[in-house]
């Protein structure tokens, strides 16, 4: 029924981040986010430029490094080393996926954990799982904020995460069942190979759809009044036109759900806002300057 407005909540976060940028700058710290792109995925360039625009909006320095897709993998590893060594760079994001001849795991463990604003470094993954996160991964963190904005407290509720990716499904489940604000849910992780998926999702008060399959979650799979969070961003052809759809069949499900996130304008803008959040947090911690995070 109710749309959860990701653009509006993200704008509030950005405004709070802009205040943090000012505080840091007044203390002589000019927070900076570096994005690195070595990818042949057509959407990646758009996403990276959106992230750079976001930096500009909050008054943060944005640095972008393009590594030639045909360059040897070493060039990407060297780029990361240089950014790690640069005290003027506080956050580093290597856009995923990287080209095939690069070892993704090596990339993830190469980023200095203190600058790992994605939260993908094994040390930061370990800290999240241990219940002591340094950087909460941007998409699941953004989803926690969206739930709070809709006055949905997961505590004691049944949450079902559909999808088990390292970027969304796994950290989302950890945050939902973990202790603390936005957690304490009874959490089930399902995926595309779950038998009788609908029997699980129908029991859920909160469904997080992150399987990467267009319109996978249909109305018969959700209970009346459930909160439905759509993480999918799928570009498909429909009626001869290219359109963006989520992992949820929105037209069907929004009649039945209590609250639902649209695509676009739901989770996506929040992912980008929490990246800015993590970057000012990184700058604050690297320089020992206190800020009031939004
Ligand atoms: N190291 C790394 N970190 C990431 O966070 C990361 C990544 N790699 N690789 C790809 C995915 C994807 N992702 C998106 C974030 C925001 C939107 C977004 O803002 N979408 C808008 C508009 C989308 C459009 O119009 O195409 C919306 O949903 O409203 C989309 C996609 C971050 N990712």
Residue 205 has pLDDT above 90, yes or no: yes
244 lines ligand 1 (CB under 6 A): yes
Q: How much distance in Å is there from the Cα of 47 to the middle of ligand 1?
A: 5
Task: Give the mean pLDDT of 89-102.
Answer: 97
> Of 54, 115, 116, 118, which residue is the catalytic one?
118
Give the tens place of pLDDT for each residue, 154-180. 999 999 999 999 999 999 999 999 999
Give the tens place of pLDDT for each residue, 38-72. 998 889 999 999 999 999 999 999 999 999 999 99
**DSSP code per residue over the chain:** -EEP-HHHHHHHHHHHHHHHHHHHHHTT---EEEEEE----HHHHHHHHHHHHHHHHTT-EEEEEE--TTS-HHHHHHHHHHHHH-TT--EEEEPSSPPTTS-HHHHHHHS-GGG-TT--SHHHHHHHHTT--SS--HHHHHHHHHHHHTT---TTSEEEEE---TTTHHHHHHHHHSSSTT---EEEEE-TT-TTHHHHHTT-SEEEE-S--TT-B-GGGS-TT-EEEE---EEEEETTEEEEE-SB-HHHHHHH-SEE--SSSSHHHHHHHHHHHHHHHHHHHHHT------
Residue 29 has pLDDT above 90, yes or no: yes
pLDDT, residue 40, reads 87
Residue nearest to atom 15 of ligand 1 (CA): 268
Hey, what domains does the chain have and what are their CATH numbers? Answer: 27-115 (3.40.50.10860), 138-268 (3.40.50.720)
59 lines ligand 1 (CB under 6 A): no
User: Is 286 designated active site?
Assistant: no
279 lines ligand 1 (CB under 6 A): no
Residue nearest to atom 17 of ligand 1 (CA): 268
pLDDT, residue 42, reads 86
Q: How much distance in Å is there from the Cα of 211 to the middle of ligand 1?
A: 15
pLDDT, residue 216, reads 98
pLDDT, residue 1, reads 74
CB 172 within 8 A of CB 161: yes
User: Is 52 designated active site?
Assistant: no
User: Is 144 designated active site?
Assistant: no
Residue 78 has pLDDT above 90, yes or no: yes
Q: How far is CA 55 from CA 50, 134, 166, in A?
A: 9, 21, 25
Residue 88 has pLDDT above 80, yes or no: yes
Give the tens place of pLDDT for each residue, 136-160. 999 999 999 999 999 999 999 999 9
Query: Of the residues 14, 42, 47, which should be mutated to test ligand 1's pocket, given the most ligand atoms within 8 Å of the CB?
Result: 47
């Amino acid at each position: 029924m109710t749309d959860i407005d990701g653009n509006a909540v993200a704008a509030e976060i950005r405004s709070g981040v802009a205040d943090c940028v000012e505080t840091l700058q007044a203390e002589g710290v000019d927070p900076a986010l570096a994005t690195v792109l070595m990818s042949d995925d057509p959407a990646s360039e758009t996403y990276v430029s959106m992230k750079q625009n976001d930096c500009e909006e909050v008054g943060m320095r944005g640095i972008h490094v393009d590594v030639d897709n045909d360059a040897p993998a070493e060039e990407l590893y060297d780029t990361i080393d240089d950014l790690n060594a640069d005290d003027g760079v506080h956050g580093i994001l290597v856009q995923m996926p990287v080209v095939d001849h690069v070892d993704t795991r090596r990339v993830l463990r190469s980023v200095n954990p203190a600058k790992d604003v994605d939260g993908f470094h094994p040390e930061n993954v370990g800290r999240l799982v241990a219940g002591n996160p340094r950087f909460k991964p941007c998409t699941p963190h953004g989803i926690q904020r969206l739930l709070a904005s809709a006055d949905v407290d997961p505590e004691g509720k049944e949450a079902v995460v559909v999808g088990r990716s390292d970027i969304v499904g796994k950290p989302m489940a950890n945050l939902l069942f973990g202790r603390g604000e936005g957690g304490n849910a009874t959490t089930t992780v399902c995926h595309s190979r779950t038998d009788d998926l609908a029997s699980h999702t129908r029991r859920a008060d909160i469904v997080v759809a992150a399987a990467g399959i267009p319109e996978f979650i249909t109305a018969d799979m959700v209970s009346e009044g459930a909160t439905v969070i759509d993480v999918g961003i799928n570009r498909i052809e429909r009626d001869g036109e290219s359109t963006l759809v989520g992992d949820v069949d929105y037209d069907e499900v929004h009649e039945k759900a209590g609250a639902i996130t649209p695509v676009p304008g739901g989770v996506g803008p929040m992912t980008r806002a929490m990246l800015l959040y993590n970057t000012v947090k990184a700058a604050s911690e690297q320089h020992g300057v206190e800020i009031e995070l939004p």
